[in-house]
Amino acid sequence: MPPFIRVSNLTMGWGDVILQRNLTFQVDRGDVFAILGGSGCGKSTLLRYLIGLETPLSGEIVIDGLGRPNLEVGRPPFGVMFQSGALFGSLTVGENIGLSLEQWTPLSHDAIGAIVRAKLRLVGLDGAENKLPSELSGGMKKRAAIARALALEPPLVFLDEPSAGLDPVSAVELDELILTLNQVLGLTVVLVTHELPSIFKIARRCIMLDKQTKSILAEGDPCDLRDNSAEPRVREFFNRLAKRA
Amino acid sequence: MTETRIRPEALLPTAEVELSDAKGEARQVSLRGTLTFAGAADIWSRIRTGTATLKEGDEIDFDVSQAGAIDGGTMALLVHLRGELAARGVRAEFTGAAEPIQALIHLYKGDIDATKRKKRKAESLLAHVGRATVQFFEEVQGVLGFFGSAVLAAFGLLREPRTGNWKAILPTMERSGADAVPIVVLINFLVGFVMGFQGATQLKQFGANLYVADLVGLSVTRELGPLMTAIILCGRSGAAFAAELGSMCVSEEIDALRTMGFGPIRYLVLPRMVALMLVLPLLTLLGDLMGMLGGLVVGISSLGLTFGGYLFETQKAVSMWDVFSGLIKSVVFAMAISLISCQQGFATTGGAEGVGRRTTASVVSILFALIILDAGFTMFFHAFNL
């Protein structure tokens, strides 16, 4: 089976500034794939390239065999949860989730309402459809953003720092939700994170970006990299929690 | 605040700084007692004054062996002073630090070589003018590019009307139009009133009182009505659009829209543009009426004109074309206001400060564009005797 996402020799940057060069990796269907690395190495920027918000300096991104997503034409075959949630502040949570359904499906208003309520139940936000985003906590905003990303049943979701800034309980709950969505719906998940507990719990494969060499420092199973990587910086990254303890 | 305490028995009630310059010995700043942020200003000025005469190649020690405690703020200032001395070529080191103070020095990087900081060279006037000129043309290019994108989005919307955000038009019309009625009425009335007074003073001298109606009627319908109303909308709606879209931009809402398959221009800009293009001509008509009413009040109260006489003269002087030309202007002004404000909103970066900067820039740019467009219209109409 061909990979769901194939990235070949991707070079990211702007003007004379190169952020990362010649990145090559692939994400399989049904995988939970993490993009890791220290601050400023380009994790979130790589996500923006993958979802078509930025144009590569060179290289190729192919999603589902269709090439780089063109956001100007039609709807992309994925959902995205941004770091801040990026819910539309002037719309209620229900309207946020129903927006794509109104735009891209011929469903009636009632049917859209039913789907919205089902999605909110899925992410544990029953009864929140009439609330404004400003009335939600950080964790609830992220859950609502996941529900919005899943509104059109995409086979792939991109999550930018899903558990960043959440309390440990909310972070664990969100990790479990992502894992459940992956296992039950067969959803392919690509996430950017630097939360070690999340990485070990949900990611099956990962790449680690390096700011110094502007390239992929390591690729593979996070637990395997933690225990067996020959690269000291990789071991140091994965073992930093253990050290602190 | 980071605070390091040592030898409680050695704590002195106040901080003390001594500058010693013993012959043949290294210069020394003796820091004694409890050095807290409260006394930092005194320490700062004393060390700066005392070391002002030091020259390149001189050395000085910051002796902290007698310091009972130093807090983080004071240490930050001491490290900064050390850096300042280094910039002048004076070598300064902390000496006699007990372990906890040594840790604090290390924390504030006071134990590494203080390198000379490069002072940023002030930009020359020529470079400043050059950069501002390039920025100006980049802004113009941005607006023109945005206009092109808006035209493409409008064609796309005509092909697929279903994808339009039609329901946003009415609320935007209400916010930009209905809510602006009181201020439009007041400002235009006062403009007509003031113009009537100014005109009356001059026209009275020639016994041409009646022509106040001509002056006010033509000026208001052809120039001031559309322009003043557009300026009011620039301040109200233009600033609001830029701030609203700017906030959406920095909170990634625009990106979210794009990844959901919504063209942000089609979804956010076109409804605003359509709403303004519909309400600004209506507000302009209202403004024209109010301006003429202002002139009428002056005519009746100061010049002894009759209501009927003033109206008759206005009717004689102001043609339908005069009103219509003002309305044409107002449609173009509405396009300019919505395009520039939305373009500035979309170009926002850098958080809340960026939103404020872009909002200001949008109002300034719109005012500039309105004046240029108005001048262009006047010349065009004049050239074709319209």
Mean pLDDT value across residues B140-153: 91
Tokens of B153: 């989005």
Contact flag B261-A53 (C-beta cutoff 8 Å): no
Low-confidence stretches of chain A (pLDDT < 50) are 244-245
| B285 shares a domain with B180 | yes
Write out the H or E segment, with its range, that includes residue B30: strand B27-35
Residue B184 lies in a domain: yes
What is the pLDDT, as a whole number, of residue B12? Answer: 43
Q: What pLDDT does B3 receive?
A: 41
User: Does B116 reside within a domain?
Assistant: no
Confidence bin at B22 (pLDDT 50/70/90): low
| Cβ proximity of B258 and A54 under 8 Å | no
User: Do the chains contact at A80 and B256, CB–CB below 8 Å?
Assistant: yes
- For testing contact with chain B, the best of A80, A83, A161 (most B CBs within 10 A): A80
Under 8 Å CB-to-CB from B52, ≥6 apart: which residues? none
- Residue B372 pLDDT > 90, yes or no? yes
Which of A53, A79, A88 has its CB closest to that of B253?
A88
Question: In angstroms, how far is the first alpha carbon of chain B from the final one?
Answer: 73
Count CA atoms within 13 Å of residue B251 on its CB side: 18
Q: Is residue B120 part of a domain?
A: no
Task: Determine the average pLDDT of the residues in B358-379.
Answer: 94
Question: What is the band of B6 on the pLDDT scale with cuts at 50, 70, 90?
Answer: very low
Do B194 and B289 belong to one domain? Answer: yes
Any B CB within 8 A of A55 CB: no
DSSP A161: S
Average pLDDT over residues B42-59: 82
Identify whether residues B79 and B154 lie together within a single domain: no
List the single range of B105-119, B125-139, B321-335, B366-380 with lowest mean pLDDT.
B105-119
Nearest neighbour of B256 by CB, restricted to A75, A78, A82: A82
Is there a contact between B253 and A80 if contact means CB atoms under 8 Å apart?
no
Predicted confidence at residue B375, as pLDDT, reads 94
B76 and B132: one domain? Answer: no
**Mind listing the pLDDT tens digit for each residue in B290-316?**
999 999 999 999 888 899 999 999 999
Higher pLDDT, B119 or A242: B119
End-to-end CA distance of chain A: 42
**pLDDT given at position A232:** 85
Looking at residue B16, its pLDDT comes to: 59
Residues B259 and B305 in one domain: yes
Q: Which amino acid would we find at residue A224?
A: D
pLDDT tens for B81-113 read: 888 888 888 888 888 888 888 888 888 888 777
Q: Are residues B202 and B89 in the same domain?
A: no
Q: What's the domain range around B271?
A: 127-383
Identify whether residues B295 and B191 lie together within a single domain. yes
Same domain for B94 and B141?
no
pLDDT tens digits, B313-338: 999 999 999 999 999 999 999 999 99
CB pair distance less than 8 Å for A100 and B259: no
pLDDT value at residue A33? 95
**pLDDT, greater one: B47 or B361:** B361
d(CA B316, CA B310): 10
Task: Evaluate if residue B384 carries a pLDDT over 80.
Answer: yes
How far A100 CA sits from the closest chain B CA (Å)?
Answer: 7
Residues in chain A: 245
Q: Which residues contact A65 (CB under 8 A, 6 or more apart)?
A: A2
Residues B193 and B319 in one domain: yes
Assess whether B91 and B195 both reside in one domain.
no
Q: Which of B252, B253, B260 sits opposite A75 (nearest CB)?
A: B260
Q: Are residues B316 and B218 in the same domain?
A: yes
Beta-carbon contacts of B249 under 8 Å, excluding residues fewer than 6 positions away, are B345, B346, B347, B348, B349
CB contact residues (below 8 A), chain A span 60-119, against chain B = 71-72, 74-76, 78-80, 82-84, 86-89, 99-100, 103-104
- The total number of structural domains that make up chain B: 2
Q: What is the pLDDT of residue B366?
A: 95
Same domain, B101 and B162: no
Q: What is the CATH number of the domain that holds B45?
A: 3.30.750.24
Residue where one domain finishes, among candidates B60, B76, B107: B107
Residue B9, pLDDT score: 39
Hey, are the CB atoms on A86 and B253 less than 8 Å from each other?
yes
Q: Strand pairing partners for A219?
A: A207
Q: Which is more confidently placed, B79 or A240?
A: B79
Residue B150 near chain A (CB below 8 Å): no
The answer to whether B122 faces chain A, any CB pair under 8 Å, is no
pLDDT for the residue numbered A97: 94
Pick B189 or B163 by higher pLDDT.
B189
Asked, for residue B115, whether it belongs to a domain, the answer is no
